[in-house]
A and B are shown apart, each in its own frame.
Chain A
């Protein structure tokens, strides 16, 4: 037995829990607050249960009591002040004052939460309130009913609107909800989830809720117009709406798309000879069987339809044709089934149906129907091309003439056809000219081909075929002087397109065209130019050498020794004129060094090899040695030690011929390679040799010498020398650099930056040495210095390598973990933080900005370690912003002294920072945030202000 009651006094959940416990009930559920309602449920023995719905709107609790024995309701009433449904209804009827009526209608609404309660009496009582002359009273009733979706509520509102039109919005809302409830779409929120849309449509088909199907499938097909099941389900909705033309068109489109992909899958499986794709094939076959179930019925409905489709249907189909785009199977299938039923667009339908599969007869009808549509003529010409090129050329010509008619002067259907295509598929002069050039070329109508190709490249200089036909047609037409000129343009165009990566698919046409050019030049007796182009051709593809020896265009050169060497592909013969120019080989080596440093090893080695070949052929021993050295170094770091050793040995053989500037580098590289090969003593000798050359050339104090000390120290460490010896070498390098860098007048150029990088490296190495010797305090101090150097380097736009920074950070981390004293660990931790900061990406301004804030945070952390709370530090910072620091504070933390000036500079860029900083720091002072968070937020604001306007930031 079920009993429903409503509380009459403010009873909270604690009270409910207490009463339920007294009645021997145990709570089993409590819902979250949802639209102002919290539900609780308790269960007891023998089927007894209590549900409570606390309704914020009315301030009352709905109690639903289940008790087979029928006594729980009375026991509850004796403990909780409540009334029955009848009493609630009676009180609503009796309510006189507007306030009482408002409260009463809310209490009635709470009763509606009881799902098992008959709703009619409650709704009728609320309906009476809708007629109230006091607006606030009837609005209260309307507000409570606005989300209902039942016809009774709709009728009550319809009646109320007759009297008070301010209730119209509520009526409309409920009316629409009723409609949607019947359609099944009431709870279908917006979604782009295809699975969800399909689920809705499938459910809609099952339940006969066709508007639900339409809504879901229109949403799906708007995104995926060729979705096969989407098209079929939409077709069924059209059928149900008595629209057999659209139904059949969409079903046919779906079928054609599936047949096309099934055919592909089957052929693909046959080609592979295995059962891959079988599941998909089965799915496609099942789908076709499903279409086959519906299709006869749809066709019968079409047969039974008297007359043709109207303009609305035609417009819908034109729209679909446009939306299907490249899915020509769908376009053709839908068009074919409606071909005889939509006379107003028959030409368009014939074009679509005929173009897919090349139905010449149908396309001729299309041309007859829409003679001014170039698309129809273009499609017909394409269909004719395989069997009758001459006829195709004629029709292409017709298409060209049709294109000359301005679009706005063409027939309405011709314009409509154009509208179904986007700019890439619409008939264009370029497409027609290219087809004409190609067809006339294939038909050996050389002059025509040359003329069409000339027009084509003028109109569209990015089509490679146009350039090729333009030149080749002249060659075969024996217009050689012209061809020679045209080929120069052609190669220039092809090189341009190659640089833009727009040569298109397939074989690179350039070697072939170089060969053609060479042939023409040979025939014209221009030997040097002919040989140069042949070099290009053979370097592009060796087959052109053989071709040249058998092609009588080259007959005048067959006895030429240079020609023979080129055709045979001899390396020396293939050197181009430009490669013999001064500086060319140097450029190759220089670019190889750059590639090697960037880790592009293959590129570096290829460049070196080219330089070695060219240098060898041209007697440039200096560049050959240098290229060998660069290649050897690259190979050594790539792990190819044997090759590297051999290469560096060859480089050393040519040392005497290397320029003095490069000699130290070649010797040093030999050292690097030997070092990598762990031939330490030989490596050391090479390093020292290189140092001696540098000293001789650059002088004793030049920073370039520090690199040598760095490598010597590394070598000593790798060899297992005494740490003191390693340290001494590092010290030598550092002293040299410190001395050089101490001169503040030096320009901050590349040499300065490189010296600074080397100093950072040596300093960190010094830290490693000290750490391994157990001198942790000294190691931390050195790393503090290293961090400062790195920051200075970054501040001047230098960028230490990530690997170096990782290595440095690792040392700092080790010190932070292993130092015995907390103070030392803290300092190492600070170094680590600074090094991590240095790894930040971004512009120099951003890095400088971040450094400022990170240092401030570092200061805050140090102060915290000394017992200064975040709140206290925030207070000091706030005073620092106002320039009110106390002397003792600056004494304790000198960094604070710079803050007013730093903040002032930032405020000029971002005025609102004043307010934001004050707010953030106040929040820290009140305990609402940590100083780290506050400073991080301010950092992000200031960094953002580097890139965007303040208005955008706000």
Chain B
């Protein structure tokens, strides 16, 4: 292995504008191994698939931390996440940039050998303030086949293992990130009130937890769907890391749902597998899991309505499927389909009677206490 320092290192070190813009502190020969050992210490605690974990560790072991730069802080716990420039001796053409010690090294951002180039490459990750969700041009909804029921398990994993995701989260009661308008420094009382409010669920929406990434300021809204599935809604501005993502796909042996995703969103969807939208589209007419995924990722869409309608029509040959389809329609608000299904069933059919019980006009239930 060539141990000669790459030529760009001196150029970057001597670029005061770069150091100022990225708040870089260059590491000396003693500090660099210490930083690497902290990286390793953290990485060893992060669970991932065995082979992938090992490959990432190998990259960490051979790489040389060069400088520590901009820090971002979670809004509640104030725990920090620092940007670190590294040299990978096997790929020394340019520096690599880690956005968190807990993030897989496979997702280090490819830097550039010049100061202006490096700043350009990192611009999508140095968004200063979280923009409103509407300003995040891309929306991607992906189904995640996670076999857990308790949403807190999912959020705990993110809060525990993904420090690049902010811990100021929000529930479905908020169509946008309620923390975004707040000054970065807020007092305990404000925090307490905001925590309470941010946890409010909207009775007419799917229960959800919204996260904001600290670097690209993208949003990831995790929804628990009525079909018991999980949907991750990703709201982001496109990033230019397609090459890194393709290499990651090769390393994982799995495809990613898009190649314009910022790496700090990709790092949060790696666990638990993903049903790719293109695969869902391909199989949704004949595979119940794909059909569920289609309806969950595209709720309220006429295309989902039509898909479910086709499944209901076909299911007259397999009436065992109808109750599940009716439940899916009910959970997603496809009311016309429910009425039409009831109409098609014979009057003495058990499912029809169940549907009629649901669809018949009813008085609102009184909120009586138990025992009254």
Contacts and interface: CB of A to CB of B under 8 A. Distances in A.
Interface stretch (A28-36, A203-211, A780-788, A905-913): A28-36
A61 interface: yes
Interface string B130-157: 0000100101000000111000010000
B340 A169 contact: no
Contact of B305 (A38, A59, A173): A59
A464 interface: no
Nearest to B225: A33
Interface residues of B, number: 47
A135 B356 CA distance: 9
Given A102-B336, A102-B339, A136-B342, A33 B299 contact: yes
Interface centre among A57, A58, A926 (most CB of B within 10 A): A57
Nearest to B40: A822
B5 interface: no
Contacts of B139: 30
B152 to A, nearest CB: 12
Contacts of A57: 333-336
A142 B360 CA distance: 9
A930 B272 CA distance: 11
Interface stretch (B23-31, B198-206, B250-258): B198-206
A870 B53 CA distance: 13
B336 A10 contact: no
Contacts of B298: 12-13
A170 interface: yes
Nearest to A176: B364
A773 interface: no
B202 A34 contact: yes
Which of B300, B344, B360, B364 has its CB near the most chain A CB atoms (within 10 A)? B300
A869 B50 contact: yes
A748 interface: no
Given A36-B335, A59-B337, A54 B302 contact: yes
A610 B306 CA distance: 91
Contacts of A102: 336, 339-340, 343
A585 to B, nearest CB: 52
B36 interface: no
Nearest to A161: B361
Contacts of A7: 302
A827 to B, nearest CB: 15
B15 interface: no
Contacts of B147: 923, 926, 928-929
Given A10-B306, A57-B335, A136-B356, A33 B363 contact: no
A927 B148 CA distance: 11
Contact of A30 (B134, B299, B306, B332): B134
B175 interface: yes
A873 B47 CA distance: 15
A167 B361 contact: yes
B303 interface: yes
B361 A170 contact: yes
A60 B359 contact: no
Interface in A118-164: 134-137, 139-140, 142-144, 146
A250 to B, nearest CB: 29
Interface in B214-261: 221
Contact of B47 (A31, A167, A930): A930
Contact of A168 (B50, B146, B273, B361): B361
B309 interface: yes
B172 interface: yes
Given A57-B333, A59-B309, A169-B361, A928 B146 contact: yes
Contact of B300 (A55, A103, A144): A55
A617 interface: no
A34 B204 contact: yes
Contact of B363 (A135, A172, A933): A172
Contact of B302 (A34, A61, A869): A61
B277 to A, nearest CB: 10
A371 B364 CA distance: 52
B134 A29 contact: yes
A928 B271 CA distance: 10
B231 to A, nearest CB: 10
A55 B303 CA distance: 11
The dominant DSSP class at the A interface is: mixed
Contacts of A139: 339, 359-361
Contacts of B205: 32-34
Interface string A854-871: 000000000000010110
Nearest to B305: A59
Nearest to B302: A10
Contacts, number: 136
A908 to B, nearest CB: 28
Contacts of A271: none
Nearest to B273: A927
Interface in A53-102: 54-61, 98-99, 102
B362 interface: yes
Contacts of B344: 99
B301 interface: yes
A628 interface: no
Given A31-B175, A57-B334, A98-B343, A173 B363 contact: yes
A170 B273 CA distance: 45
A23 to B, nearest CB: 17
Contact of B303 (A10, A31, A34): A10
Interface string A919-954: 000010011111001000000000000000000000
A166 B361 contact: yes
A146 B360 CA distance: 12
Contacts of A172: 363
A37 B299 CA distance: 9
Nearest to B298: A12
A341 interface: no
Interface in B269-301: 272-273, 298-301
A38 B299 contact: yes
Contacts of B303: 10-12
Contacts of A32: 172, 175, 202, 205, 208, 221
Instruction: Tell which of B50, B139, B336 has the most Cβ of chain A within 10 Å.
Output: B336
A463 interface: no
B212 to A, nearest CB: 16
A27 interface: yes
Given A29-B134, A32-B175, A173-B363, A140 B301 contact: no
Interface string A7-26: 10111110000000000000
Interface string B320-351: 00000000000011111101101110000000
A106 interface: yes
Given A140-B335, A928-B146, A166 B302 contact: no
A13 to B, nearest CB: 6
Given A30-B134, A30-B139, A36 B333 contact: yes
B35 to A, nearest CB: 15
Contacts of A929: 147-148, 153
Contacts of A930: 47
B361 A33 contact: no
A106 B335 contact: yes
Contact of A169 (B302, B332, B337, B362): B362
A-B CB proximity, top 8 nearest: A36-B333, A59-B305, A928-B147, A10-B306, A12-B303, A35-B204, A56-B333, A10-B302
Given A34-B205, A136-B339, 4 more contacts: A29-B134, A34-B202, A59-B309, A143-B359
Interface of B: 47, 50, 134, 137, 139, 146-148, 153, 172, 175, 202, 204-206, 208, 221, 272-273, 298-306, 309, 332-337, 339-340, 342-344, 356, 359-364
Interface of A: 7, 9-13, 27-38, 54-61, 98-99, 102-103, 106, 134-137, 139-140, 142-144, 146, 166-170, 172-173, 867, 869-870, 923, 926-930, 933
8 contacts: A7-B302, A12-B303, A34-B205, A56-B300, A139-B361, A927-B273, A928-B147, A929-B153
